[in-house]
Chains A and B, each alone.
Chain A
């Protein structure tokens, strides 16, 4: 590797101002001096509106952990768009994303991706990953929320005889349920993996308002480390249930005179519920005024309203904005504020100190804003 880099530096004497990779990209599109790319190797249709895309990444990619996600860049009518997708392939194997058609970008990925296409990539990240030490697990997933959990199940279940995993997966109908057959096969093959398919078309949404459903499907749920991934309402309900159980357990514990350890180390506890969100409500800017946004280094200025994330404002103006999850979680989009104030679109809070790093994906202009980009 080091020798390769030396060689590249020597060759750049002849290619400057380009890098040798820029020339090599004439022959292999994965080469680039500036951006990580991957070549699509296989596309597998999962359901009517979802597909798994396998790809071979170029240099700079790092192997993913089960449950992580990666940013994928695709071009729509000549314009680069970035979105984050969970990797569904097990750890240790070539990466693959499973995408459900819910918008312009995912629609193009599901419908128009062919082997040989180039995807733009950012290395995998995220801390929705398996615990370091083996312990009983409960997975709660809804819709495309199965994707990161599928990677975990595939990593863990066939390879670890000591694994103990219960999965409750909710989908509208059997036809909409991604990975349904593979999950059922795994459950048949490995007794330490139990799966419940919950079809909301027949039974309605999984009811988390009380512990009744969980008590029935997974009686020892309070003693498991729980992972949840799905739409916002689903996760909010699960969080509320875990909090309520933790509060009840604490009250019981203190009534019995034990203040710390109410019911053993694995009692229901909000910390024992690890969640991965796909969407965040960004409505807090509605009705507020925006302002003139100046992208100083890029020499662009744009009039923005009070409800559009600065990330979108910049991208539409052709500024190379760093971006990631686009929902305020990953901090890939941090950009220094030079002057002015921004509104957090999740909470409505207005803040801004010169030099502060702003999450542009969840911040809108609150008056004139200058960004150092």
Chain B
């Protein structure tokens, strides 16, 4: 696996309060990165700064509007999801009946997709923290997904969203498994790219759970043994609970009606459906044709405006119906989500046309397309990058 390792120390602005942890990721207030990404190379520093101000204004507008209707939205989603969850699971208890099996599996699949995408992912981003409701808060939420919420928040919120598509910094570029960018050095192992991806899709939640352990960091000495053991324990507890619920407790109760085996197939199918869907949606976020990746020189000295530019040209949307947006957890608005990861997801649709207009005006790509096209595009990349680069 060709991962560029960066040994450079984190920036140390914490000189003021030496004993305490200071958050990283401060952006430069002016100037430009060492290298501006090719797709934005035509923009001057002043133009990029102006673009940053325009996007800030869009965010401020949403924050000012955010209120009771948004709170009602997430509560309604949670109610719908829980209704789907209990009705699906209850129906599986009598799934000896074929109709019940289909209905139960469908309901449970929908429940799991909603839980992970529109609710879990977005709550864990802190999109609903402003409500100050401890039941719907990024620091208390746990989701119906094998990886513990806190572990995922670290690799996703802290690392992926900060270093979006910077090869060598953002491990989401291939998840340490796939070669997803030509900058990543080719090795014979990468010939299996399509195979690995096909195996990964139906067990995606387990792939993410292993990914969140950051085993590569441990091997490189960047993660302590204590930290790894702690993460392994947390994962073990969580995985056992998840496994017991879906593959032991639910079938066990269903045995009372002679539906044990069918219930087990039902939960297995629901988890697989959710995994394949989540995998497809997430791969559409940064891998389709038209999205850019970046080098470390392109982030060195980045201003807020440049950070916004990188998020926009490094992400891709999915076009489609309202129901499709909901089922993707509004990750179909990946560009808007990467610009403003913590505004409520129900607001992305209203932001999208404004962002698209800005991209057009500044001559920046705004990548979007229907889901079949975007999924096809990511698979094309998986196949293409399995092969070594052609010698010039």
Q: Are B126 and A16 in contact (CB under 8 A)?
A: no
Interface membership of B249, Cβ < 8 A: yes
Closest CB in chain A relative to B267 CB, distance in Å? 11
Give the nearest-CB partner of A297 in chain B.
B139
Cross-chain contact B68 with A77 (CB below 8 angstroms)? yes
Is A80 in contact with B19, judged by CB distance below 8 angstroms?
A: no
B134 at interface, CB cutoff 8 A? yes
From A14, A33, A298, A339, give the contact of B245 (CB < 8 A).
Answer: A14
A16→B243 CA distance, assembly (Å)? 10
Say yes or no: A78 contacts B140, CB within 8 Å.
Answer: no
Determine the distance from Cα of A23 to Cα of B89 in the docked complex, in whole angstroms.
13
Is B16 a contact of A23 with CB atoms below 8 Å?
Answer: no
Contact residue among A13, A33, A320, A339 (Cβ-Cβ distance under 8 Å from B19): A339
Contact for A78 among B16, B68, B89, B138, CB less than 8 A: B68
Using a Cβ–Cβ cut-off of 8 Å, how many residues does chain B contribute to the interface with A? Answer: 45
B352 CB-CB contact with A under 8 Å:
no
Q: Which of B68, B139, B245 contacts A320 (CB 8 A)?
A: B139
Cross-chain contact A298 with B139 (CB below 8 angstroms):
yes
**Does any Cβ of B come within 8 Å of A272's Cβ?**
no
In the assembled complex, which residues on chain A have CB atoms less than 8 Å from the CB atom of B137?
A: 320
Given contacts A23-B86, A296-B20, contact A13 B135 (CB under 8 A): no
A14 to chain B: which residues have CB within 8 Å? 89, 245, 249-250, 253
Does residue A209 face the partner (Cβ distance < 8 Å to B)? no
| Bitwise interface map of A from 291 to 318 toward B, beta carbon under 8 Å scored 1, else 0 | 0001011110100000000000001001
Closest residue on chain B to residue A82 by CB atoms: B132
Q: Is B140 a contact partner of A79 (Cβ separation < 8 A)?
A: no
Determine the distance from Cα of A16 to Cα of B142 in the docked complex, in whole angstroms. Answer: 9
Cβ distance A316 to chain B, nearest Cβ, rounded Å: 9
User: In the complex, which residue of chain B has the Cβ closest to the Cβ of A321?
Assistant: B132
- Taking a contact as CB atoms under 8 Å apart, the answer to whether A294 and B22 are in contact is yes
Q: Which residue of B lies closest to A370 (CB)?
A: B20
Is A32 an interface residue when CB atoms closer than 8 A count as contact? yes
**Shortest beta-carbon distance, B11 to chain A, in Å?**
14
CB pair B241–A370 under 8 Å, yes or no, is no
Question: Given A13-B244, A14-B253, A23-B82, is A320 in contact with B16 using a C-beta cutoff of 8 Å?
Answer: no
**CA distance in complex: A367, B18 (Å):** 14
The digit string for A322-348, where 1 denotes a CB below 8 A from any CB of B, is 000000000000000011100000000
Q: Which of B71, B143, B158 is the one whose CB lies under 8 Å from A17?
A: B143
Q: Which of A16, A34, A78 contacts B135 (CB 8 A)?
A: A34
Residue from the list A26, A294, A320 in contact with B132, Cβ < 8 A: A320
- CB–CB B143/A35 < 8 A: no
Knowing A14-B253, A32-B135, A339-B17, say if A26 contacts B79 (CB, 8 Å): yes
The docked-state distance in angstroms from the alpha carbon of A34 to that of B139 is 13
Residue A354 lies at the interface, judged by CB distance under 8 Å to chain B: yes
Task: State whether A79 touches B131 (Cβ < 8 A).
Answer: yes
Q: Within 8 Å CB of A13, what residues of B?
A: 241, 244-245, 249
Asked if residues B134 and A370 are in contact (CB atoms below 8 Å), the reply is no
Q: Give complex CA distance A10, B292 in Å.
A: 49
Q: How far is the CA of A368 from the CA of B17 in the complex (A)?
A: 7
Closest to B154 in A: A299
A315 to B130, CA, bound (A): 8
B133 on the A face (CB < 8 A): yes
Give min CB distance, B115 to chain A, whole Å: 9
Whether the pair A339, B20 counts as a contact (CB closer than 8 A) is yes
**Is A75 in contact with chain B by the CB < 8 A criterion?**
yes
How many residue pairs between the two chains, A and B, have CB atoms under 8 Å in the bound complex?
102
A298 CB to closest chain B CB (Å) equals 6
Q: A37 CB to closest chain B CB, in angstroms?
A: 10
A49 proximal to B (CB < 8 A): no
Interface pair A354/B19, CB less than 8 Å apart: yes
Is the beta-carbon distance between B245 and A318 smaller than 8 angstroms? no
Report the nearest B residue to A292, measured CB to CB: B16
| Interfacial chain B residues near A296, Cβ < 8 Å | 20-21
| Of A26, A80, A298, A319, the contact of B133 (CB 8 Å cutoff) | A80
Assembly CA distance A301 to B17 (angstroms): 14
* Interface residues in B123-173 (C-beta closer than 8 Å to A): 126, 129-135, 137-140, 142-144, 158
Residues of chain A lying within 8 A (CB to CB) of residue B134: 34-35, 320
**Distance, CA A81 to CA B241, complexed state (A):** 35
Across the interface, do B68 and A75 meet the contact criterion of CB distance under 8 Å?
Answer: yes
Is B242 part of the binding interface, using a Cβ–Cβ cutoff of 8 Å?
Answer: yes
Q: With the chains together, A80 CA to B70 CA distance in Å?
A: 13
Task: Report the bound CA distance from A32 to B75 in whole Å.
Answer: 14
Interface string of A21-55 (1 = CB under 8 A from B): 01100100000111100000000000000000000
List residues 75-99 of chain A with CB under 8 A from any CB of chain B. 75, 77-81
Nearest CB of B to A52, in Å: 25
Q: Name, among A17, A78, A294, A367, the residue most crowded by chain B CB atoms within 10 Å (CB to CB).
A: A78
Q: What B residues does A354 contact at CB under 8 A?
A: 19
Across the two chains, which residue of chain B brings its CB closest to A15? B245
Residues of chain A contacted by B22 (CB below 8 angstroms): 294, 301, 370
Nearest CB of A to B114, in Å: 14
Quote the shortest CB–CB distance from A276 to chain B (angstroms). Answer: 27
In the complex the two chains form, is A338's CB within 8 Å of B19's CB? yes
B47-68, CB under 8 A of A: which get 1 and which 0?
A: 0000000000000000000111
Task: Report B142 CB to chain A, min CB distance, Å.
Answer: 4
Contact A17 to B68, CB < 8 A, known contacts A26-B83, A80-B131 = no
Which residues of A sit under 8 angstroms from B158, Cβ to Cβ?
299
Instruction: Tell me the bound Cα distance from A17 to B240 in angstroms.
Output: 11
Cα A298 to Cα B21 in complex, Å, equals: 12
| A17 in contact with B130 given A294-B23, A296-B20, A296-B21 (CB within 8 Å) | no
Q: Is B129 touching A370 in the complex (CB atoms < 8 A)? A: no
The 0/1 profile, CB within 8 Å of A marked 1, for residues 76-92 of chain B is 00010011011001000
Could you show 24 A-B contacts with beta carbons less than 8 Å apart?
A13-B241, A14-B249, A14-B250, A16-B245, A17-B142, A17-B143, A22-B135, A34-B135, A75-B71, A78-B66, A78-B69, A78-B70, A78-B71, A78-B130, A79-B132, A296-B20, A297-B139, A298-B139, A299-B23, A320-B134, A338-B20, A354-B19, A368-B17, A370-B20
Query: A17-B241, A79-B67 given. 14 additional CB < 8 A pairs?
Result: A14-B89, A15-B245, A16-B244, A18-B82, A34-B134, A75-B68, A75-B71, A79-B71, A294-B20, A296-B20, A318-B130, A318-B132, A320-B129, A320-B137
Which residues of B does A touch, CB under 8 Å?
Answer: 16-23, 66-72, 79, 82-83, 85-86, 89, 126, 129-135, 137-140, 142-144, 158, 238, 241-242, 244-245, 249-250, 253
8 closest residue pairs by CB, A with B: A78-B71, A318-B129, A339-B20, A17-B142, A370-B20, A80-B132, A77-B67, A339-B17
